[in-house]
Every structure is written in structure tokens, then in C-alpha cells.
Amino acid sequence: MSSAAATPPSVDKVDGFSRKSVRKAKQKRSQSSSQFRSQGKPIELAPLPLLKDVPTPEQPELFLQKLQQCCTVFDFMDTLSDLKMKEYKRSTLNELVDYVTVSRGYLTEQAYPEVVKMVSYNIFRTLPPSESNEFDPEEDEPTLEASWPHLQLVYEFFIRFLESQEFQPSIAKKYIDQKFVLQLLELFDSEDPRERDYLKTVLHRIYGKFLGLRAFIRKQINNIFLRFVYETEHFNGVAELLEILGSIINGFALPLKAEHKQFLVKVLIPLHTVRSLSLFHAQLAYCIVQFLEKDPTLTEPVIRGLLKFWPKTCSQKEVMFLGELEEILDVIEPTQFVKIQEPLFKQISRCVSSPHFQVAERALYYWNNEYIMSLIEENSSVILPIMFASLYRISKEHWNPAIVALVYNVLKAFMEMNSTLFDELTATYKSDRQREKKKEKEREELWKKLEDLELKRGLRSDGIIPT
């Protein structure tokens, strides 16, 4: 064909067609921080003695002083300013980390508000805008938090504090309250994966130690997810939050509360619709399976939900869905399977005949799963008629020989399972197709008649048909 000649091969080397990640690889890792509003003046902190150098009774007071000093926040976007003081704060934070890990008796009641204040001053901030307008977590390098040298130590310190044997939630709950948790949750949107990792541990500890905050935390996570699904499609910490939820779900008491079931159906299932599913699919599927292991009667709504949101155009997502469905089928109870098998296998039959071979292949792999095979076998009289037409057609038509081979195996398996039905279906295949065609024709005629009618009436009385 000569028509392609109009577009000569491009020799432009700096064009916008290379993958973003390739183009970006050369740039230095970007850093950003919204933490600091420049004050212009250099910062002075008066050096304090080391905690270990003062007598034990004076330590708690010195500890408080050091916490107060660490409330000072530095500008890390300006790499040259306050170098000495930055170093001083770093070493002080390091000392505090060690101190809360090994010391005893330091945690006076006055210390709690100071610790929370220091942590809040350092970690709570409006996250900076993303470097690129359309930050794509799969393609783009994350923007790293510039103040990490301090921030990391503050997180480290806070975790040691929460885990310390002397830590008393009953005192701390006055300071670690709903507002604190809300701000903490917002930080999960940080682009810096190191920060999200620390946040995960922090939130997990708080969830574990503050019973009064649990329902609140769950509700706020709900809100974050709903906003993510229905409003913005943007939130960096979904995987981390799901990971925490995975272990929370594990601990749910039976029978499950309505609140938890609603969370499954109205939040977790819709999370499957998000474009960036691949970034948190593993954690999401884990949560779903956790729920089903707790309460098998949820299987039907879950599978129906997945079928409702089944990807129409994105093959990669379809493969993920098939993977998750197999995880679910691995734990499904036969009684639940029967309830859902018809719509389920209609979808599987569509996947099997997908022109995208990875989708077809992933679906056909179900027949390698012994448990699923046993379920199919038990219900072959229902499933075989659903699957037959697709299988029969692909065995003749699919472009990919590997798929054709797999389909032959599946057909063979069906034949062995239920040979009478199989023969019947083979015999009626042609007449069934003809019947379908006839029905299709009847449909077309019906619509033609309806349209004629609309036209006639439209002419007769203008205005009836809205335009």
C-alpha cells in the first residue's frame, strides 16, 4: 500500500512520543516541599546539653525543652540556609529517638502535649502541588519531600513514642484526637513513598491503641476513598490505606456489622472502577477476600458488583479482574457458587472469546484450577450451555494458536464431564445460531416500525417529540 507514504518516518529525536519515564530518567529527582513559608531571617537555636549528660531528675525538663526546639521548621528548598541549625536539629531529633527508645520514666504527663505539638508542627502541612500537571504514578517519578532528613526522624520518634512501654493511651487521647487523625490521613496523599510508609505504621499504631478513634478512622478512610472514586481519581496513599484496612477487616467480629458490609459494597467494590487500579489492586483484592472469608454470604453481592464494573475497554484491568475473581472462587462455598454461576459464566464466556489473547488466556487458566474445575463439573449442566457457543466459535476463529489449543483442552474437559449434553449442543449449534439471527432480524424490523411511527406522529402533531 502506498498511502502510508504521506507520513515519512520521523527522525526528530526530542519529540514527545517517547515514554515519559524514559524522558524523565535523565532529569534529577525532583524535590518539593510546601512546608515552609519563607521568613527571611536566619534561625537561631541555643544549643542544649545532651540528655545523658544531665542528672536523671533534670532529664524530663530538658526533654521538654528539646521538643520545643524541634518545633522550629526549616526551609529545605533553600539548600544553603541555616546549615548549622539544620544539623543541630537533626542530631537533637536523633537523640530524642534514642531517648524514647531506651529511657524509662521520662514520659511525664506534661510531655504528651509537647510531643504531639512537636510532631504536628513538623508533619502537618499542605502537600505541595504535583510537579507535572497530570501526575501518573505508574509513569512519573514521585516528587520527594525535601525536608525528609528531619521529617523521617520525627516520624521515627513518633512511632517509638507510640510503641514505648510507658505510653498511656488514656492520657494521649486528649491530644491525639479526631482533628489530629484527620490531618494525618490527609498526609497519605503525599507523593513520597517513604513518607506514606511511615504514615502507615503510625496510623496502624493509633488504630490499635485508641479504641475511641477506630470508628472515626474507618469513616474518614471511607470519605477519602469515595472522594477518590467519585470526585478526583487522585490520591497517592490508597494502597497504604487498604493495607491497613486488610488487617482491620481481619479483626472484625462476627456477625459483621451493617457498617462494614456497606463499606464492602459501596466503597471497596467501586474502587475497582478507578483508572489507576493497578497501583492498589493487590491490596484491594486482599481486602475483598478477607471479607468473604469472614462472611461467605457476601459472595453474591461482591461478584455481582465486579460484574457490574467489569472493564469494557481496558484489557489490563480485565486481566486484574479475572485474577481477583479466581482468588474469590478459590474460597467460594459451593452453595454460593450456584447462586452466582449464571451471570458469572456469561462474563467468563465473553472473556474467553476476547480478541485480546492475555484476557482470553487468563480466563482459560481457570480450567487449570482444580477447585474451580470441581465446581464447574458439579454444575456442568448449567455452565456448559453458557460457555459452549463461545468455545466452539473460538476453536475455529481465534487468531492466536495458543488460545485455540487451550480452548480445545477446555472443550475436551467438558466433553468428558457431560458427553450427552456436549453432543446435543454440538448438534444444535447451527440451528441455534440461525435462531439468533432470525431474532436479530425481528428486532430490527420492530425498531424500523417504531421509527416510522415516530416519523408519522411527528408530522401529524408537531411538538410531541422532544428534540
Nearer to other proteins, 119 or 375 (CB): 119
According to the binding rule CB under 8 A, does residue 104 interact with other proteins?
Answer: no
- What's the rounded Cα separation, in Å, for the pair 320 and 390? 21
Tell me the pairing of strands 144-145 and 31-32. Answer: parallel
Quote the DSSP letter at residue 393: H
Longest CA–CA span in the chain (Å) reads: 102
Residues 25, 26, 29, 38: which binds other proteins (CB under 8 A)?
A: 38
Q: Which is nearer to other proteins, 266 or 356 (CB)?
A: 266
- Per CB under 8 A, 451 contacts other proteins: yes
Q: Please answer whether residues 196 and 164 qualify as being in contact, where contact means their C-beta atoms are separated by less than 8 angstroms.
A: no
Report the distance separating Cα 397 and Cα 413, nearest Å.
20
Residues that contact other proteins, how many (by CB under 8 A): 47
For other proteins, which is the closer residue by CB, 77 or 282? Answer: 77
Print the binding letters for residues 170-209 with other proteins: x by CB under 8 A, - otherwise.
---------x--x---------------------------
Residue 314 in the binding site for other proteins (CB under 8 A): no
Q: Cβ neighbours of residue 49 under 8 Å, at least 6 residues apart?
A: 62
Considering the complex, what minimum distance in angstroms separates the CB of residue 181 from other proteins?
11
Q: Look up residue 103 and give its three cell numbers.
A: 529511657
By CB under 8 A, the residues from 128 to 157 that bind other proteins are 128-129
**What span, in angstroms and rounded, lies between the C-alpha atoms of 122 and 381?**
64
Smaller CB separation from other proteins, 46 or 80:
80
Q: Inter-axis angle of helices 214-227 and 238-250, to 10 degrees?
A: 140
Is there binding between residue 214 and other proteins (CB under 8 A)? no
Contacts of 354 (CB under 8 A, 6+ apart): 315, 318, 360, 363
Q: Least distance from C-beta 38 to other proteins, angstroms?
A: 6
443 binds other proteins (CB under 8 A): yes
Choosing from 66, 84, 266, 355, the residue that interacts with other proteins (CB under 8 A) is 266
Give the closest residue to 150 by CA, choosing from 50, 71, 215.
71
Q: List contacts with other proteins (CB under 8 A).
A: 1-3, 5-8, 10-16, 34, 36-38, 126, 128-129, 179, 182, 223, 226-227, 230-231, 266, 270, 308, 346, 443, 446-447, 449-451, 453-454, 457, 460-461, 463-466
